[in-house]
Amino acid sequence: QVQLVESGGGLVQAGGSLRLSCAASGRTFSRYAMGWFRQAPGKEREFVAAVSRSGVRTYYVDSVKGRFTISRDDAKNTVYLQMNSLKPEDTAVYYCAAKGGSDSVYYTETFRYDYWGQGTQVTVSS
């Protein structure tokens, strides 16, 4: 069992930056690939980024490539999402998730992930 708690969301102007954090409970954090998803009002939850168990491999949705960076610190049981050059279309509730089994970072479907946080709101004003 893994419990995930996100933090770091807020209101920011377009072009600004935020860093989201996701703290995981338990001693098995290193066994999970980790992902970030987001859900805007009236839209389905979509994949944003993933990082492998080792932290070496990462994968991003095209719309955030070059602007967002996912990373993990297993000593702190935490995964991060650094978001730069934010746009109004990045406004959403952001969720972190843990995926057991395959260490692939290319699985973008929500059903691939086993545990979810409660989400943190990110609002980008124009």
Residue found under tokens 């086993």: 114
Confidence of residue 1 (pLDDT cuts 50, 70, 90): confident
Q: Do 55 and 72 form a contact (C-beta atoms < 8 A)?
A: yes
Q: For 77-113, what is each residue's pLDDT tens digit?
A: 999 999 999 999 999 999 999 999 888 899 999 999 9
Q: Do 49 and 61 form a contact (C-beta atoms < 8 A)?
A: yes
Tell me what pLDDT residue 83 has. 98
Determine the Cα–Cα distance for residues 76 and 95; give it in Å rounded to an integer: 18
Q: What is the DSSP letter of 105?
A: S
Tell me what pLDDT residue 79 has. 98
**CB atoms inside a 10 Å sphere around CB 60:** 18
Tell me what pLDDT residue 57 has. 97
Tell me what pLDDT residue 27 has. 72
The residue type found at 105 is V
Q: Do 49 and 59 form a contact (C-beta atoms < 8 A)?
A: yes
Which residue would you say has higher pLDDT here, 26 or 105? Answer: 105
Tell me what pLDDT residue 102 has. 85
Q: For 39-79, what is each residue's pLDDT tens digit?
A: 999 999 999 999 999 999 999 999 999 999 999 999 999 99
Q: Do 22 and 4 form a contact (C-beta atoms < 8 A)?
A: yes
